[in-house]
Amino acid sequence: SPAGSTFARVEGPAWLRIEADGSYAGTPDEFDGGANAWLVAVTKDGSAPSYQRVELAVRRSPGVLFADNFRGYRGTQNNVQFQSGLPVAYLGTIPGWQSEGEGAVHAVAMANAASAVPDWAVMLWQDNRITSGAIDANAKNVRYEVVCEASPAVYAQPEQATQAADGLRIEVLRTDGTVLQSAMVSPGAWSGSMQFRQQSVAYSGDGSGAVRLRFGPDGEQRRGRFQGAVRKITLRAIAGR
């Protein structure tokens, strides 16, 4: 690095710390897989900064074809969650995902105030659904598994809380929009805080092309409640041809 220069991260994933002297350190996790890029400001002797782009490729674990923890979520934070006090947001977007439904996308910030790494869980209000982009995970006769964490959820009003009979539906969609696999998961009733449990859905590829993942409410979609929340989504191959 140029002698006498100072460095600062302008934008990019927060897992990598960039120090003023240009040194850096950090450990990515499963959800940082793929290309990672940072914009770094370089300032010397009080002059105007110049900007450098830094790129790193992070390998995912063997077999993992897709992983997302909604760290790119951006929404309007307008309240705190009933009982837990966590920040909540709505009218959000998630890079690589499409959304539908009233106020979508709702989310709750799980990271503590001291954390530099965003940690959002998407909360699925009555008619909300989110759908991923295309994923190359549908080779004929190969077994795959979708894994996520699901929790009961609520926004700011107690009457909107997930109840015991509510549920989320996880769907694996073919390229033409038909359903290759579908399963209901039950997050359980809201009990004062976000309580995540791992859920999984397995399917067999039929060779018809890329798939997309869709998460939404199970059954009737106008209940006036959040049907649950999801985060830490992965898709992996679990058995070969």
User: How does pLDDT run across 7-35, given as a tens digit for each residue?
Assistant: 998 988 888 999 999 999 999 888 888 88
Asked if 74 contacts 92 with a C-beta cutoff of 8 angstroms, the reply is yes
* CA–CA separation, 213 and 181 (whole Å): 10
Q: Quick one: pLDDT at residue 117?
A: 67
Task: Name the CA dihedral angle for 205, 206, 212, 216, rounded to a multiple of 10 degrees.
Answer: -80
Q: What residues does 79 pair with on adjacent strands?
A: 88
Distance (Å) of CA 60 to CA 27, 63, 139, 140, 155: 13, 8, 19, 23, 33
Residue pointed to by tokens 């499409």 = 98
Q: What is the pLDDT of residue 241?
A: 53
Confidence of residue 114 (pLDDT cuts 50, 70, 90): low
C-alpha distances in angstroms, 134 versus 46, 66, 213? 47, 10, 8
Percent of the chain past pLDDT 70, that is, above it, reads 95
- Sorted by sequence, the CB contacts under 8 Å of residue 201 that are 6+ apart come out as 145, 146, 170, 172, 181, 183, 185
Is 201 exposed, middle or buried (CB count within 10 Å of its CB: 0-12, 13-18, 19+)? buried
Inter-residue contact 18 to 6 (CB < 8 Å): no
Find, among 25, 26, 20, the residue nearest to 8 by Cα.
Answer: 20
Q: What does the pLDDT look like over 202-233, one tens digit per residue?
A: 999 999 999 999 999 997 766 899 999 999 99
- Mean pLDDT, the chain, rounded, equals 92
Q: Is the peptide bond before 105 cis (omega within 30 degrees of 0)?
A: yes
The region of weakest confidence among 22-36, 66-80, 91-105, 111-125 is: 111-125
